[in-house]
């Protein structure tokens, strides 16, 4: 009906001698209106600036005011007007005739720029396909040139270290499969000698040597829990200066440490290993270990045995780096100064992770920092007397909120012998002490 009305209006205007001043409104984007007004087949004409023009022309190729480059012609291609290069070996892209078999901005097809692909270097276009080298640590594992080097071999658990090397349920850290989350180190199962011999300098009577067998692998934090991590995990709202972010969090009791472990479990999508009530920090907070504690796959405090095994780094000496000729306090202080932040080296303050990392010898053979000094660390267990009997997967879960828990490792204000790996101390679980913090563990992924 609309087309007939337009045609009638045009005819009427011509009969009245008004053909040169037609006032009919034509929508240039409506092909049927344009055909009715301009005539011809649908798409044969365009309505441009009040004038009917052919859709295949030098001035208007397929659309109003679209001019082809001098190296191209406007022709019908695939039933529509298009600019086509006169040299049939070239393709028309962005107003230019280009060789897309080797053009870096239009490789193979228009707009496919080899230069914009992620994680590549030395790109080239050959035969209409982008070729490139991957930047260090990346690879094109899916063989799709459109997305460049998409796999980060340093962290991709499906392509760890090399394409298609899967870590299963584990993590890929620095190109190596590990059953541990980022920021944790792997401690293998096995039988370990714990405690101290009677001849050890600084030895206490509660350090009876005994063998402990662990039937499971576990993972332990490389660093002590930081103030920033604690603040973020528990949303404490504390105002924390930037220079304090990576200092170890201290002045927390055992229950607050367990509560923070639960919060880290939640952040990592793991189950809670403690039952805490109320579920917020405060003087009334009380946490107890969940049933079958060692089977919990979430984040938790280490057992006393786990802590000592990790701290020793597969050694049996008083410190993971030690000289056999040490016979007095001065010799022990000298040895500890090489690896620890304690009373004689700390200047009366804790230190940040960056400061720890600046001293390579302060990292033990398992990759852990500050297992001697900086802050003393809560462990999971209640304090009990040890015998020389072998133990397997030992755990001594707390019997009450105020029972004495084991604390380990010594701190920045500790005497040298208090930083030995066999040193055992204890404190009521509800107490806070300056220089007392924590580090967490989790069971290794199978």
- What is the structure's pLDDT at 165? 94
pLDDT above 90 for 378: yes
Per this entry, what is the length of the chain? 446
Ramachandran angles phi, psi of 360, nearest 5°: -55, -35
Label the pairing between strands 210-214 and 190-194: antiparallel
pLDDT > 70: percent of the chain: 95
The rounded distance, in Å, linking the Cα atoms of 348 and 332 is 19
Of residues 181 and 353, more confidence is placed in 353
Digit-coded pLDDT (tens) for 139-153: 999 988 778 899 999
Q: So what's the pLDDT on residue 147?
A: 86
Per-residue HEC secondary structure of 72-100 comes to EEEEEECCEEEEEECCCCCEEECCEEECC
Is residue 41 over pLDDT 90?
no
Where in the chain are the domains? 2-92, 99-150, 184-443
More confident residue, 96 or 15: 96
Token duo for residue 247: 């200092």
Nearest to 293 by CA among 400, 88, 441: 441
Q: DSSP letters along 129-196, please? A: EEEEEEPTTEE-TT--GGG-S-EETTT-TTSSSSTT---TTSEEETTEEESS-TTEEEE--EEEEES-
Q: Does 323 score more than 90 pLDDT?
A: no
For the stretch 69-106, pLDDT in tens is 999 999 999 889 999 999 999 999 989 999 999 999 99
Collapsed DSSP state (helix, strand, coil) of residue 126: strand
The string of pLDDT tens digits covering residues 259-299 is 999 999 999 999 999 999 987 777 789 999 998 999 999 99
Per-residue confidence (pLDDT) for residue 17, from 0 to 100: 39
Burial track 344-361 (b if 16+ CB lie within 10 A, e otherwise) = ebbeeebbbbebbeeeee
Mean pLDDT of the 231-237 span: 88
Q: What is the pLDDT of residues 159-217, one digit of tens each?
A: 999 999 998 878 887 898 888 988 999 999 999 999 999 999 899 999 999 999 999 99
Statement: residue 14 has pLDDT above 90: no
Q: Please, which pLDDT band fits residue 24 given cuts at 50, 70 and 90?
A: low
Most trustworthy range by pLDDT among 135-149, 211-225, 354-368: 211-225
**What band does 444 get if pLDDT is binned at 50, 70 and 90?**
very high
pLDDT of residue 418: 96
For domain 184-443, the CATH class is alpha beta
Binned at pLDDT 50, 70 and 90, residue 16 comes out as very low
pLDDT tens across 116-131, in order? Answer: 778 988 888 999 988 8
What is the pairing mode between strands 404-408 and 190-194? Answer: unpaired
pLDDT of amino acid 9: 41
Where is pLDDT greater, at 438 or 177? 438
Predicted model pTM: 0.68
Phi, psi (degrees; rounded to nearest 5) at 188: -80, 155
Given a cut of 50, whether residue 1 has pLDDT beyond it is: no
Residue 383: is its pLDDT beyond 80? yes
- With a cut of 90, say whether residue 425 has pLDDT above it: yes
The per-type count for the chain, helices as H runs and strands as E runs, is: 7, 25
In this prediction, residue 10 carries a pLDDT of: 42
The total of other beta-carbon atoms located within 10 Å of residue 320's CB is 21
Using 50, 70 and 90 to split pLDDT, how confident is the model at 415? very high
| Average pLDDT score, the chain | 90
């Amino acid at each position: 009906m609309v087309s007939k009305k337009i045609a009638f209006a045009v005819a009427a205007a011509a009969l009245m001698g008004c053909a040169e001043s037609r006032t009919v409104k034509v929508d240039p984007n409506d092909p049927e209106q344009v055909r009715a007004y301009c005539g011809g087949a649908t798409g044969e004409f365009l309505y441009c600036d009040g004038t009917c023009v052919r859709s295949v022309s030098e001035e208007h190729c397929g659309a109003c005011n679209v001019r082809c480059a001098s190296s191209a012609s406007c022709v019908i291609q695939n039933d529509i007007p298009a600019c086509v290069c006169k040299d049939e070996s070239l393709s028309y892209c962005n107003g230019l005739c280009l060789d897309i078999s080797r053009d870096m901005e239009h490789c193979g097809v228009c707009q496919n720029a080899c230069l914009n692909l992620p994680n590549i270097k030395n790109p080239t276009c050959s035969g209409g396909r982008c070729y490139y080298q991957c930047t260090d640590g990346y690879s094109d594992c899916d063989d799709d040139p459109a997305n460049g080097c998409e796999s980060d071999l340093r962290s991709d658990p499906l392509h760890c270290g090399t394409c298609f090397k899967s870590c299963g349920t584990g993590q890929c850290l620095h190109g190596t499969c590990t059953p541990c989350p980022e920021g944790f180190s792997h401690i293998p199962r096995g039988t370990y000698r714990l405690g101290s011999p009677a001849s050890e300098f600084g030895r206490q009577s509660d350090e009876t040597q005994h063998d402990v067998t662990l039937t499971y692998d576990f993972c332990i934090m490389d660093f002590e829990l930081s103030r920033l991590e604690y603040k973020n995990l528990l949303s404490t709202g504390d105002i924390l200066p930037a220079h304090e972010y990576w200092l170890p969090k201290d002045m927390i009791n055992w229950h607050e440490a367990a509560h923070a472990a639960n919060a880290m479990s939640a952040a990592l999508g793991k189950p809670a290993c403690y039952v805490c009530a109320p579920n917020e920090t405060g003087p009334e907070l009380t946490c107890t270990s969940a049933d079958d504690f060692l089977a919990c796959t979430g984040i938790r405090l280490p057992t006393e045995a786990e802590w000592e095994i990790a701290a020793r780094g597969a050694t049996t000496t008083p410190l993971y780096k030690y000289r056999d000729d040490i016979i007095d306090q001065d010799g022990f202080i000298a040895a500890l100064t090489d690896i620890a932040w304690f009373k004689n080296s700390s200047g009366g303050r804790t230190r940040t992770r960056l400061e720890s990392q600046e001293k390579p010898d302060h990292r033990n053979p398992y990759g852990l920092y500050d297992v001697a000094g900086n802050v003393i660390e809560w462990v999971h267990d209640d304090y009990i007397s040890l015998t020389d009997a072998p133990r397997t997967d030992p755990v001594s879960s707390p019997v009450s909120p105020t029972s004495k828990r084991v604390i380990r490792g010594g701190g920045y204000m500790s005497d040298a012998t208090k930083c030995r790996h066999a040193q055992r101390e204890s404190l009521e679980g509800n107490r806070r002490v300056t220089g007392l913090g924590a580090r967490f563990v989790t069971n290794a992924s199978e």
